Every structure is written in C-alpha cells, then in structure tokens.
Structure 1
Amino acid sequence: MTLATHTEEQISTFCAQLAPVERAFISHAALGYCALRRDDQWFLYSARLRLDSTMTVTPATFKTSTVIAGRIPIDTRSRSVRKAIEELLGTFAVTDASVQFEAEDNGSYSAYAVPLHRSGLDRSALAILKIRGGRGWEKVDREEIGWRLRGSEIAFESLSELCGVCDAGDEPGSLEIVAAPVTRILSTSTAKQNKATLMLSCSSELDVDACRLSYRVIQGSTVVHRDSVAGKRLNWRPEHGNCVATHDIDIPEGALVDCAVSYQGETHQQAWITDRSAVGNPRRAAFEPSDIELLAMQSMLRDEDDKNGRGFEVAVAWLFWMLGFNPAHLRNSKHHEDAPDILVECEGGFVVVECTIGQLKADKRSNLKARCVNVEKSLAATGNRDVLVLPLLVTRFSHEQVTADMEDAGKAGLHVLTRDDLLALMERTRQVNSPAAILAEWRTALEANRAATRSPQTLAT
C-alpha cells in the first residue's frame, strides 16, 4: 500500500524512536480490537497495539451478530514493529474473523506520532502513534449498540466499556500504537524519614548499563540536592523476566524526591517519591482531616458517574489550591455560565481553566480561547497588559484517550492536563510548591507542543 508522505514520515519517526529498545517488545505485544458488522463484513471500529515489556498477553474474544472484540498476541519476534503495523493497514485476521481497517477517501491513512512524551509528569507510555482511517464510524449510533450489548450473553454497558475491557482504544476508525517505557521507576520505591529507596526496572532484553537514574531532592520549594547514577554502578537482579535495581539516598526528613530513569540518554519515566506519612504542605495538612490521603478527591477526578462534570471541576479547584494557587471556581454559580470554569491566580500570572469530562472537542477549545481573550482584554484595559494569561484545558480522560486531540490543542495554543497529570500533581501536594514555577513548566510545555505541531498536513497520494 502506498501511504501519504506525511503518514510515512510519522510512522518512520515513531519506529525510529523505538529502534534502540525494540528488542524489549519481543513476545510482549498485543492487539486489542473492536469491529462492527456492515454489509456482511467486519470493519474495524477501534484498535490499540500495545507494546509493553512487562505485559503477559492473555487472549480474549467477544462476539455477537453485530460486534466482535478481543485481544490477541502479535508476533514481533519474526517481524519488526513497523512490519506489524503495516500488516494492520488494510485487512487483517483476528480470532475466527477477518477485519478490514478502511482507509480514507484518498485511499491512504493519516498518522500522528507523539515521541517521548514532552510533559515532565508521570506517563504510562513512552511513545504513541495514532493512525486514522475512514471517518464512517464517527456517526455510528453508539447508544443503540450499547443497548444491544446490555442484553448480550456477556453484558457490557456500552461500546466504550467493551473497548476498555479489550484495551482497544475508543476512537472510531483509528488504530493506536502505544509503546510503554522499557525502564521504569517502580511503585515500590519509598521515602521514610531520612532515607529514600529508589527502585527501577529494565527489560532483560536490553543492556542495563545504558540506564541512568537521575534525581532531585526537594525540601519545601527548594532543590537541596541533585545527582544521577549510571546503570553500570547499580546492582541488578533478575525478577519476573526483568532486571531490577535498588539505590538508597540520604534525604532531609520530609523531603520529596523527583526522580527519572533514562535509556541511552532518552528519558523513559519520571516519578515523585515521598514519605507518605509526612506532609510538609500546610494546605494539604489542613485539608486532609476532611479527606484522608485525598481518596475522595481522587475518586472525583475519576468518577464516570459525574455526568455534568461539576464534581470534577470542584476537585480540580481543590488541587490548584493545595498546589499554592488561588483558584476561583466561577462556574459553580448559575450567574457565571459564560465565565471560565476556574480562574486561577498566582505570582506569575493567571490561568484560565476549561474542564471537560471527555475528549478535547472543538467547542471546548473555542470556549477556552474566547474566555482567555476576555480576561486579557480586561487586564489590558486596567493597565495590566503584560500579565501572563495561560489557557489550560483539563480533561478527566487519560493521556492515551486524547492523544489524537493534543495536536489540535497545541495548534490552538492551549496547554492540556489529563487525568494522568492531575494524579501526578496530587503527589506534589505533599510538599510546598512554587505556583510560579509550575506555571513556567506549563508555559514551556505549551511552547514545545506548539512547535511540535507545526508540521505539514497529510498529503493525498
């Protein structure tokens, strides 16, 4: 198949990023898929090819007269990741069926690669490639399909739930390829009183000497120490098919450790390690008697039963307050329906926040831009023309769920926080933060994303 020039470039970029670590995905690749019946053929609704060196692939299938879905292993031992991707463009075989991934009207596909996530916050993916085909499924009657699924032999509430269970993504007419980090900071890392124990893993298929653990020790809002240790200086041991190492560092009591792990100079994952019994942030300490460990707040950030998003907005405003910002939750009042959801102030300027419980839709992006312009005009009219105003779009969806929309947000000059970002920011609330520094981080990430999206559009074949 001949691909459009831009599509070919994006696939090549993605595969080039994975080339140094591709061995880690041998026997660790799985395709989650969902297809719908039309004209006696199965057409791909949504799919995700996941590459994860820690994953054990368990095949699964689901089938009705109009829907098939499942998860199958993909062979990357006898063929490259690129070859595996190319074989999914067109017609491919799944369990007991043949599925067609329709191309666009010009006979090709469009693609968008997200190499090495640009945000400094914790991510569950190393790189993502989104390939879009025909747009025919965008008008599918999801409610009707969901109603039928409720009464199937194995009941599902909706097409979204089915896609979620099968890890098939949930974007009509698209294939997503998600590569997980091959070296990670493990959740078993701890900080207690004057010592932090940082644990990291690396695929046993790779050279552990090429890993590097880097870290900053933060007390209050001040970095008191920064250092790194090369993989060859760590003592590695085999564990569950991977290699694991431990590194102890001395820290001031109650300090926060910002650590990251890289492979051949490319950062793969970042994490915040804190003493969970110590809270150095008085705002969080004052809040926690009402919400121990912020469990209720976490639930509000994830709650899919919150259909109008008001609880989500409240939790976002609380989070900003605990980070040291001064948030005003304007849309909590019927008198402010044309206002930003949340207006946030700090020493470095203002953040105009639009919240969404789903995709980063065009109306959400345009509303945020308009409300940001209104704030800028008002500031200019009162002699504050030089004050920074940053537009921030916050979604309850994960980063993986909105990858395809990130390009449009970047082009519009909007910074985006996903659920992944919010949960990572919650970890930072254990220490006093500098809102101005966080605002500067967001501004830098926004500029990087805008620069990355200045690429040629998909060309016709």
Structure 2
Amino acid sequence: MSDHERKQLEDFLAAIEPNIAGYNYSTFSYLAQKKGNVFELAQGRLVLQGVPATSESKHFESPNLKVGFLHLHELKTSVKQFIESLLTGKLLTPHGELRFAPEKDRSHSIYFNPFHAEGVPFQNRQAFQYRQMQLHIRGDRRERLDSLSLDWELKAGPIPFEGVQELCAEFGVGQIDGDSSTVEIVAFSVAAIGGESSVTGTKAKLVINLVDGLEREKASIGYRLIERNAVVKRGILSGDALTWENATNFQRGVAELEVTGGAVLHCVASHGGRAQHHYWVADPATAQNPFRAIHQAFDKNLDVLQELVTKAQTKGANARDLEIAVAWLLWMLGFSTTHIGGTPKTSDAPDLIAATPFGHLVVVECTTGILKEDSKLSHLFQRAEKIRQTLISCGNQHLRVLPVIVTTKTRDEVKSELDQAHKNGALVATIEDFPQLINRTLLVPNAERLYTEAEENLKRLQNPSPFDVSGTKTNLLQ
C-alpha cells in the first residue's frame, strides 16, 4: 500500500471513529462472479448507518453468480477488521469465501471522499443536505457482467430475475459500472434537524435527531436567523441546553427560541464538532418571499413542483415537465421568465429565458439526459449567441447574457462534460442543486444578487485556483 493510500484509509477511519458507537445497523451487500472454483467479489457496498435496514438478510446463487445482503454483525467483524480482510484479498461470509485480489503486482487502490453526494431520488430533497462519507476500494479487473449469457442464466433461476442490473437493485448492490472489482463503504450522518422543527409567530421549535449509542452532550444545533436576506443573529445550542427524549431507534433533543415574525432559520445538526445535516425552517403562515407565497396558494408545500422534477428523473420522462418546474423556480427567485421554447412553432428558441429586474438574461436549456444529448449543449451556445447579437443590434449591448443548462442527471453522471460547458461560458445545474435553490425561495427574492453570484462562480470554474478546493461547485448559490 502506498503512503497516499494508507493516509486515505487512516483519514476515513479517523473520520468515522466518533460515530462508530452509533452505527448499530450497518449492512453489507455484494455481487460475486464465479471464476474457476472460487467466487470473486465483483462489487460490494458496506453501509454504515444508525437506523434499521428495511430488508432482512438474504442470499441468491446461480451457477456463475452469487449475491447477498447481510447485517454487519453477521460477519462477526468491526468496520476496521472488515477493511483489513478485504485488503488481504479474502472476505469470509456466511455464504462462503469471496476473493478480492488487487491488480497484478499492485496493491488495492483506495480513495476517501469526505463529502460524497450520492444520486438519491429528488423526492427526498433533504437527502442532499446530509453529510455522507465514502471510502472506495478498487481491486483487480473483472469479467464483464453485462453479458446476455448471465442475463439468460438469471431468467432461468429458481427465483427469476430480468438480468444482472435487476439482481443488483434487489440486493442493494448499486449500479454496476467500470471494469474493476470495487467495494464502497458509505458512512451516513448520525444526526439531523428534525422535520418537525417549526416557526410559529415569534416562537421557533428546533429539533435534532441523534442515533442511539451516541452521547447527547456532544450534539448541538447551530443556527442563523435571517430577516430580509440579512443574517441578524447566529448561535449554537449545545446538547446540555436541549430537552431530550427517547424515540424509536434514536434520541430527540428539543429547544425553543424567540424570533421575530416572518424570520427564517437555517439550522445545522452537529455531533462531536462535525456538521451532519442542515435544514431551513420557516413559518408557513408568513413569508419573506411574496412570489413563493403566491405560488404556494396554488401549489401547497411546492408538492407539484417537486413532482414535476421527480417525474423528469424517470426513464423516458418528458423534459417539458422539467422546463415548467425550472420556470416556476426562477420566477420565485425573482426573475421574469418566458417559456419561449415551449411550443413546436418556437422549437428553435431556448427552452426558457429569464431576466433580472435590470434586464440581464439567463438563457436556459433543460434536459433529462446528459448535456450533449439531442445537441442540447451546442444549441444552448448558439441560442445564447443569437440573443447577444440581437441585443447589440437593438442598442442594448450593455445587458449581459448567461447560458445555463439544467439536467436531472447527477454531477457524477455529467462530470466528463462539465469542463467543455464551463470553457464555453455556460453554467451547469444538476439534480443536486434543486434543494438549495428551492430553499433560496424562502428568502426575499434578489435576482440581481443571484445573477452576480452565478457569473462569479462561472469565472472561478473557468480559472480555478490551485488552492480552491470548492472548484467543483456549479450551482447559482455556491
């Protein structure tokens, strides 16, 4: 093992150490492929979590594949021992031994991501506001798993499956990709701001949920009190200052605060000095943003908007649903929005054009696929340039134009296309950006400020500083 990889492993173990006592319901799922007389681990996923898994332990085997879902305690091992076993090239399970060899003449490859953003469904919009850590361990190259012979083998099994991907989905292994055997260890957050947190008039009730097994004294709720886009107070409520009670599989701490009417609270749940989750709390009876209040008069809790975005993530989805949702969102953020590309007769126009109060323009293309799909990215550049030339010809060259492409894909899924978009002057908004943009609608709308932030962000992405660790941020808020 190289010094770099050893440090990656040590950093991961140090990061999860304060949470270990709370990971009482960890699970391991795997897919193994037969090679000779042994089964080689093709893909595995160890999930460290403090809430019970919804699935019972299970196991399936066909002539050439073996798959299982286990609770970590069934392996009679700790997290550290589990990793050490993997790095020896063998993992013992109740279903038999699994081989996990490194590449020839090399050690296993190890990578630690302390802020892993997984592509979870948008309907759980707060999921993107949880801290999640991942350790990725890669072994030797493996045989292809996307073969028709394996799919037909599974169709004929005693428990029939459509193919390898359905088998992996059923057992929680995740989507199979790459050509190497891999194991990922995902560490979920151990504390969260409770959804029952609320503001009613001048009273705020803040709730933190903490998994069982962890010390209440090490938990805390941090908050920023925001009035008319300005932070007027910051504070932290220590675990000692909270009123605690036991709930099913977790502990609940509650505190009350005096706030001004119509205030918005941005709250952070922490444990052991590490932020685990952040959440916005506002009084539904009052609103700093009149546009959001008007929208909610016809779309309570933004349920329809969220449904449109969720539908746009499904296979074969209509991108028009996404266009409508983005138009609504831009309007609530203070932009004047036209859905000019929404009819067949204006299909040569961009999907949306949004204007700030000063007249600066955002040119928007929406897609449910990758950026190059249906030439969306090239169309965006062409249409933005046409708008610039039109402004010049009509004497409004002082107005600025910002191209933005919005996709329901995750940032990882379009990672290879981001550089081209940024170099050509376009921002990319992915599914991870929606929760933060929706939270922004709780505040007084300020489209000019958002527009300036977006331009500054694009400049950073085009000319990243070697000391800037936030260079991958792409949404309007970051």
- TM class, shorter-length: 0.7 to 0.9
Residue 475 of structure 2 corresponds to: none
Q: Distance in 1 between matches of 2:295 and 2:115?
A: 35
Residue 246 of structure 1 corresponds to: 254
Using the aligned pairs only, state the percent identity: 26
AA aligned to 1:92 is: L
Corresponding pairs, count: 445
Q: Distance in 2 between matches of 1:56 and 1:84?
A: 19
Which residue, out of 22, 25, 38, partners 1:24?
Answer: 22
Q: Distance in 2 between matches of 1:23 and 1:329?
A: 52
2:291 is paired with a residue of what secondary structure?
Answer: helix
1:293 is paired with a residue of what secondary structure?
Answer: helix
The answer on whether the counterparts of 1:76 and 1:84 sit within 8 Å (CA) in structure 2 is: no
- Using a 3 Å threshold, how does the CA distance of structure 1 residues 318 and 243 change in structure 2: closer, same or farther? same
- Using a 3 Å threshold, how does the CA distance of structure 1 residues 48 and 117 change in structure 2: closer, same or farther? closer
* Cα shift at 1:199: 0.5
Where in structure 1 are there 5+ consecutive unaligned residues?
456-461
Pick 1 or 2: higher relative contact order, CA cutoff 8 A, min separation 6.
1
Residue 126 of structure 1 corresponds to: 132
* Cα shift at 1:114: 2.5
Residue 263 of structure 1 corresponds to: 271
In the alignment, does 2:67 pair up with 1:50?
no
- Using a 3 Å threshold, how does the CA distance of structure 1 residues 266 and 148 change in structure 2: closer, same or farther? same
Q: Distance in 1 between matches of 2:362 and 2:110?
A: 32
* Cα shift at 1:298: 1.9
AA aligned to 2:291 is: R
Q: Distance in 2 between matches of 1:312 and 1:334?
A: 17
Map 1:4-15; keep pairs closer than 5 Å. Answer: 6-15=4-13
AA aligned to 1:321 is: W
Question: Is 377-386 or 129-138 further displaced after alignment?
Answer: 377-386
2:86 is paired with a residue of what secondary structure?
Answer: coil
The answer on whether the counterparts of 1:340 and 1:368 sit within 8 Å (CA) in structure 2 is: no
Residue 326 of structure 2 corresponds to: 316
Q: Distance in 2 between matches of 1:403 and 1:240?
A: 35
The answer on whether the counterparts of 2:30 and 2:69 sit within 8 Å (CA) in structure 1 is: yes
- Using a 3 Å threshold, how does the CA distance of structure 1 residues 219 and 110 change in structure 2: closer, same or farther? same
In the alignment, does 2:400 pair up with 1:395?
no
The answer on whether the counterparts of 2:42 and 2:142 sit within 8 Å (CA) in structure 1 is: no
- Using a 3 Å threshold, how does the CA distance of structure 1 residues 53 and 308 change in structure 2: closer, same or farther? closer
Q: Distance in 1 between matches of 2:159 and 2:301?
A: 36
1:87 is paired with a residue of what secondary structure?
Answer: helix
Question: Is 427-436 or 212-221 further displaced after alignment?
Answer: 427-436
Residue 225 of structure 2 corresponds to: 217
AA aligned to 2:95 is: D
- Using a 3 Å threshold, how does the CA distance of structure 1 residues 254 and 177 change in structure 2: closer, same or farther? same
Map 1:180-191; keep pairs closer than 5 Å. Answer: 180-191=188-199
* Cα shift at 1:325: 3.5
The answer on whether the counterparts of 2:270 and 2:276 sit within 8 Å (CA) in structure 1 is: yes
Residue 113 of structure 2 corresponds to: 114
Q: Distance in 1 between matches of 2:50 and 2:316?
A: 36
Give me the CA root mean square deviation. 4.7
The answer on whether the counterparts of 2:228 and 2:288 sit within 8 Å (CA) in structure 1 is: yes
The answer on whether the counterparts of 1:351 and 1:391 sit within 8 Å (CA) in structure 2 is: yes
Q: Distance in 1 between matches of 2:243 and 2:191?
A: 15
AA aligned to 2:259 is: I
The answer on whether the counterparts of 2:150 and 2:164 sit within 8 Å (CA) in structure 1 is: yes
Residue 171 of structure 2 corresponds to: 166
Residue 63 of structure 1 corresponds to: 60
Map 1:71-90; keep pairs closer than 5 Å. Answer: 71-75=69-73, 81-89=79-87, 90=89
Question: Is 368-377 or 195-204 further displaced after alignment?
Answer: 368-377
The answer on whether the counterparts of 1:112 and 1:404 sit within 8 Å (CA) in structure 2 is: no
* Cα shift at 1:23: 3.1
Q: Distance in 2 between matches of 1:191 and 1:157?
A: 49
Residue 207 of structure 1 corresponds to: 215
* Cα shift at 1:259: 0.7
Where in structure 2 are there 5+ consecutive unaligned residues?
119-125, 473-478
Question: Is 335-344 or 187-196 further displaced after alignment?
Answer: 335-344
AA aligned to 1:166 is: F
Deviations 1:363-407 (A, max 9, x none): 57x97599569858985995979958476664345xxxx658769
Q: Distance in 2 between matches of 1:80 and 1:200?
A: 28
The answer on whether the counterparts of 2:204 and 2:257 sit within 8 Å (CA) in structure 1 is: yes
Structure whose alpha-carbon radius of gyration is higher: 2
The answer on whether the counterparts of 2:191 and 2:211 sit within 8 Å (CA) in structure 1 is: yes
Question: Is 148-157 or 278-287 further displaced after alignment?
Answer: 148-157
AA aligned to 1:200 is: I
- Using a 3 Å threshold, how does the CA distance of structure 1 residues 115 and 334 change in structure 2: closer, same or farther? farther
* Cα shift at 1:196: 2.0
* Cα shift at 1:438: 4.8
The answer on whether the counterparts of 2:377 and 2:421 sit within 8 Å (CA) in structure 1 is: no
The answer on whether the counterparts of 1:34 and 1:168 sit within 8 Å (CA) in structure 2 is: yes
* Cα shift at 1:198: 0.9
Deviations 1:305-357 (A, max 9, x none): 45155133432343233233445657656688898765655479766666554
* Cα shift at 1:291: 3.6
Q: Distance in 2 between matches of 1:339 and 1:138?
A: 43
* Cα shift at 1:47: 2.8
Q: Distance in 2 between matches of 1:123 and 1:277?
A: 24
* Cα shift at 1:103: 4.1
The answer on whether the counterparts of 1:351 and 1:392 sit within 8 Å (CA) in structure 2 is: no
* Cα shift at 1:284: 3.2
* TM-score, normalising length: structure 2: 0.72
The answer on whether the counterparts of 2:154 and 2:160 sit within 8 Å (CA) in structure 1 is: yes
AA aligned to 2:48 is: L
1:84 is paired with a residue of what secondary structure?
Answer: helix
Residue 308 of structure 2 corresponds to: 300
Q: Distance in 1 between matches of 2:343 and 2:140?
A: 42
AA aligned to 1:199 is: V
* Cα shift at 1:179: 1.2
* Cα shift at 1:245: 0.9
AA aligned to 1:293 is: N
* Cα shift at 1:421: 3.9
* Cα shift at 1:18: 2.2
Residue 194 of structure 1 corresponds to: 202
The answer on whether the counterparts of 2:146 and 2:164 sit within 8 Å (CA) in structure 1 is: no
* TM-score, normalising length: structure 1: 0.74
Q: Distance in 2 between matches of 1:338 and 1:40?
A: 59
Q: Distance in 2 between matches of 1:454 and 1:426?
A: 22
- Using a 3 Å threshold, how does the CA distance of structure 1 residues 408 and 43 change in structure 2: closer, same or farther? farther
Residue 458 of structure 1 corresponds to: none
